[in-house]
Amino acid sequence: MERAEERIALELGVLKKALATLKDVIQNPSQDLVRDRDAAIQRFEYTFELAWKSMKLLGEREGLACPGPRSAVKSAFKLGHVDSIEDWLAMLKARNQTSHTYHEETAVKVYECVVRFPPLVEAFLEKAAAGLNS
């Protein structure tokens, strides 16, 4: 395996672990729903960051410029690593709103996106891994 593919495989492994922490807080709520929501939003933030950076590496490996999350998501769509660019751009919008979750209404809206995020990441991981092995 060449160096770029090793780095991508490592990033995908880290993303998979981050996703597990996000799924855990969503699937195993405690008695403190606000704390769970806040924890899920924070885990969403770092999971999204890892996802777009993995997309960036995959795009760059194919010669696509991916200086930011929007271009990385677009390259992942172009390469067939994600099925719905609209869903991923909605997640990017939610990620950009996480710094404003001190407003209850914003926190609720972001959390509604957060709970829809794990299946998107799982599908991306599956397609990205298949692309590395081909």
User: Structural domain tally of the chain?
Assistant: 1
User: Where residue 123 sits, what CATH number does that domain have?
Assistant: 1.20.120.330
Q: What is the pLDDT of residues 38-76, one digit of tens each?
A: 999 999 999 999 999 999 999 999 999 999 999 999 999
Cα gap 132→99, rounded to integer Å: 34
Cα gap 40→43, rounded to integer Å: 5
Predicted local confidence at residue 134, as pLDDT: 65
Q: What is the pLDDT of residues 77-117, one digit of tens each?
A: 999 999 999 999 999 999 999 998 889 999 999 999 999 99
Q: How many CB atoms lie within 10 A of CB 113?
A: 21
Supply the DSSP symbol for 84.
-
Closest CA to 124 of 71, 98, 87, 94: 87
* 27: CB partners within 8 A, 6+ apart: none
Domain that holds residue 77: 3-133
Cα gap 120→116, rounded to integer Å: 7
H-assigned helices in the chain: 3-27, 33-61, 69-78, 85-97, 104-114, 117-133
